[in-house]
Structure 1
């Protein structure tokens, strides 16, 4: 399964990496798009969930790394206001 790494540029200019074990995340978070923190939370977490389920369908078990990525994403999101904007960039 092809992995995807996206770079998220936060409202304050900081960046972080988001890992997904599946390209399905690109349907939720396409590079070049700018989303509100609230939209990123909804779409990013759903995309990570779907990526984990694709791993489950293929290998018989969910991807635990997507749980870790979702936790990391939630922690970073909590530092910003829901209406602040985040840009999704191609991976590193």
Structure 2
């Protein structure tokens, strides 16, 4: 399964590279697109759960790295005010 990295810009301007064990993130995110925090969180959850499920189907166990990445994303989102802060921008997917 090809690992995929995607880079985002958070509402505070910080850029961060995120990890997925699968290319599924490219099904839910588009480079150059802005996502409201709640939408970004929902899409990230779906993407990383699907990625972990793909690993489980192939190797017989879920991907702990995908779930750890989701935990880090959700912790980062908790730093922002969902209603007031700006969007998350997907910069690139590699």
TM-score, scaled to structure 2:
0.90
Q: Which residue of 2 aligns with 1:86?
A: 88
Q: Which residue of 2 aligns with 1:74?
A: 74
Pairwise CA RMSD: 1.3
1:1-92 equivalent positions in 2, closer than 5 A: 1-83=1-83, 84-91=86-93
- Give the count of matched residue pairs: 92
Give structure 1 stretches of 5+ with no counterpart: none
Call closer, same or farther: CA 1:45–1:75 in 2, change over 3 Å: same
1: CA distance between counterparts of 2:81 and 2:60?
38
Moved over 3 A (4+): none
Q: Per-residue deviation at 1:21?
A: 0.4
Q: Secondary structure at the match of 1:11?
A: coil
Q: Secondary structure at the match of 1:80?
A: coil
Q: Per-residue deviation at 1:91?
A: 4.6
Q: Per-residue deviation at 1:30?
A: 2.0
Q: Per-residue deviation at 1:17?
A: 1.5
Q: Per-residue deviation at 1:6?
A: 0.6
Give structure 2 stretches of 5+ with no counterpart: none
